[in-house]
């Protein structure tokens, strides 16, 4: 993805928002049709049938016809792709699009190449039904067949080209590295380095808490509520930007320095699911604590550290050089002698082997195990005494 910040004028912003609204409307209609599926009624209309319906709808409704046909058709195509991804098991179920959140539309084909350079710092793109919109040339515009225009909740417009960056060659001898992704330290390397992903500062977190409390007291649909909402969105955007920046820099660095990059194969989508309720055997109908709050905290950490994003980016920049290793027991196994018991893990930070006395930082020890590819294959040899603090159970039992 190659993104540029766009600076539309006020009139253009309204026109762009209208296009976003059309795309959202068409997407939501497609979602509604798709969700109406029942065993009795049979299949719901597919992409081709929906396109035909769109043509009919455009001839019936002026407001729909006033928008670009391509934008609306691409929304259907995007939805079709989202369904395919869902059935393939790589993505979650397509969801309802809401105004003010994840807004955007896509332009493809010859219309996507109408871009002119204005000067050293600025260029303009001709968006159908909107006109020439200026964007900042923060890098070279890539050769791409389509682009996407988005607006984030903090009100920033972006122009994004879907391009996979060219692979980064290894410089130097080319070693193997293991990366352990944690919550307190975002990534620990088998070389002993510990990299942490910057989030919001203490001051910013305090401000976020304050704004969230204030939002709760605002009257619905009031101007103040809108202002507070924008302020919150700006803080979220800031932490998101920092995270993306970290992911890009770290993945480039790793791809450049190491020949083989081994990471834990964690099913992140499964891990961030809700923990199962534990029924209490002594009192029927009641439940034992299932550490749901603790897991919620862990989930926040996982998302904040951009785990998925780092691996995805590494696979783009170092294709064929990223290996996924079974993460089971990597945090309990001694990287020197291979002894594996839960007692090895003294605390969140410290690892001390009860057999040979080897002591190290726990995340670095795990990273060395991952680098060695030393993943214990027998999953159920030792009963599930894995610490819920460190090793989410879904990854070992799932
Ligand atoms: Zn040992």
Among residues 139, 74, 136, the alpha carbon closest in space to that of 108 is found at 74
State the pairing for strand pair 194-195/122-127: unpaired
Structure pTM?
0.75
Q: How far is the CA of 334 from the centre of ligand 1 (A)?
A: 5
CA distance 287 to 267: 27
Q: How far is the CA of 397 from the centre of ligand 1 (A)?
A: 25
Judged by DSSP in three states, 107 sits in strand
Q: How far is the CA of 302 from the centre of ligand 1 (A)?
A: 29
CA distance 57 to 51: 10
Q: How far is the CA of 342 from the centre of ligand 1 (A)?
A: 12
Q: How far is the CA of 333 from the centre of ligand 1 (A)?
A: 8
Q: How far is the CA of 348 from the centre of ligand 1 (A)?
A: 18
E strand intervals along the chain: 2-7, 103-108, 115-117, 122-127, 131-136, 146-151, 157-161, 175-181, 187-189, 194-195, 258-264, 278-279, 287-288, 322-325, 350-352, 359-361
- In degrees, to the nearest 5, what angle opens at C-alpha 374 toward C-alphas 373 and 379? 120
pLDDT of residue 290: 66
CA distance 65 to 125: 22
CA distance 216 to 200: 21
**375 has which bridge partners?**
none
pLDDT of residue 273: 53
CA distance 46 to 42: 12
Confirm if 56 and 49 have CB atoms less than 8 A apart. no
**7 has which bridge partners?**
134
Q: How far is the CA of 345 from the centre of ligand 1 (A)?
A: 11
Q: How far is the CA of 362 from the centre of ligand 1 (A)?
A: 13
**107 has which bridge partners?**
147
Q: How far is the CA of 185 from the centre of ligand 1 (A)?
A: 23
Q: How far is the CA of 359 from the centre of ligand 1 (A)?
A: 8
CA distance 134 to 158: 11
Among residues 169, 189, 180, 125, the alpha carbon closest in space to that of 307 is found at 180
State the 10-residue block means of pLDDT for the chain, 398 residues long: 91 94 94 85 83 91 90 94 89 89 88 89 93 93 89 92 85 85 78 86 92 92 92 91 90 92 71 63 72 59 69 89 84 87 84 89 89 55 40 35
Q: How far is the CA of 337 from the centre of ligand 1 (A)?
A: 4
Q: How far is the CA of 186 from the centre of ligand 1 (A)?
A: 25
Q: How far is the CA of 354 from the centre of ligand 1 (A)?
A: 7
CA distance 236 to 101: 13
Q: How far is the CA of 332 from the centre of ligand 1 (A)?
A: 10
Q: How far is the CA of 335 from the centre of ligand 1 (A)?
A: 7
CA distance 181 to 234: 27
Q: How far is the CA of 63 from the centre of ligand 1 (A)?
A: 71
Q: How far is the CA of 386 from the centre of ligand 1 (A)?
A: 18
Radius of gyration of the chain (CA): 25
CA distance 248 to 185: 17
Q: How far is the CA of 301 from the centre of ligand 1 (A)?
A: 30
Among residues 126, 129, 122, the alpha carbon closest in space to that of 114 is found at 126
Q: How far is the CA of 295 from the centre of ligand 1 (A)?
A: 30
Q: How far is the CA of 195 from the centre of ligand 1 (A)?
A: 25
Q: How far is the CA of 189 from the centre of ligand 1 (A)?
A: 19
Q: How far is the CA of 338 from the centre of ligand 1 (A)?
A: 6
Q: How far is the CA of 344 from the centre of ligand 1 (A)?
A: 9
Q: How far is the CA of 351 from the centre of ligand 1 (A)?
A: 10
CA distance to 90, 270, 307, 311, per residue, from 267 (Å)? 11, 5, 11, 12
Judged by DSSP in three states, 380 sits in coil
Q: How far is the CA of 238 from the centre of ligand 1 (A)?
A: 43
* 213 DSSP 8-state letter: H
């Amino acid at each position: 993805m190659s993104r540029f910040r766009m600076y539309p004028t006020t009139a253009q912003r309204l026109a762009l928002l209208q296009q976003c609204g059309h795309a959202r409307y068409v997407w939501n209609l497609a979602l509604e049709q798709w969700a109406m599926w029942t065993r009795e009624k049979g299949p719901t209309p597919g992409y081709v049938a929906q396109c035909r319906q769109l043509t009919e709808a455009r001839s019936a409704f002026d407001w729909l016809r006033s928008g670009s046909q391509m934008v609306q058709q691409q929304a259907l195509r995007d939805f079709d792709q989202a369904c395919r991804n869902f059935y393939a098991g790589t993505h979650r179920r397509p969801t309802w699009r809401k105004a003010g959140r994840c807004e955007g539309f896509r332009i493809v084909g010859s219309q996507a190449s109408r871009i002119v350079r204005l000067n050293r710092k600025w260029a303009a793109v001709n968006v159908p039904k909107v006109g020439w919109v200026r964007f900042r040339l923060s890098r070279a515009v890539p050769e791409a067949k389509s682009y996407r225009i988005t607006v984030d909740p903090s009100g920033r417009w972006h122009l994004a080209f879907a391009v996979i960056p060219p692979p980064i060659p290894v410089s130097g001898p080319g070693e193997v590295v293991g990366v352990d992704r944690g919550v307190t330290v975002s990534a620990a390397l088998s070389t002993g380095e510990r990299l942490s992903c910057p989030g919001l500062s203490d001051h910013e977190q305090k401000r976020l808490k304050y704004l969230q409390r204030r939002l709760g007291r605002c009257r619905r649909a009031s101007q103040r509520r809108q202002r507070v909402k924008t302020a919150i969105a700006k803080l979220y955007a800031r932490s998101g930007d920092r995270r993306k920046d970290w992911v890009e820099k770290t993945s480039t660095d790793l791809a450049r320095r190491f020949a083989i990059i081994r990471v834990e194969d964690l099913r992140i989508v499964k891990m961030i699911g809700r923990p199962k309720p534990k029924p209490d055997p002594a009192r029927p109908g009641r439940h034992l604590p299932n550490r749901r709050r603790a897991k919620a905290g862990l989930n926040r950490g996982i998302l904040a550290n951009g785990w998925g994003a780092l691996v995805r980016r590494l696979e783009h920049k170092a294709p064929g050089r990223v290996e996924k290793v079974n993460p089971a027991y990597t945090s309990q196994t001694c990287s020197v002698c291979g002894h594996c018991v839960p007692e090895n893990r003294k605390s969140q930070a410290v690892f001390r082997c009860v057999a040979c006395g080897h002591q190290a930082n726990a995340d670095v020890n795990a990273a060395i195990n991952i680098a060695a590819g030393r993943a214990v294959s027998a999953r159920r040899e030792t009963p599930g005494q894995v610490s819920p603090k460190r090793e989410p159970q879904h990854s070992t039992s799932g």
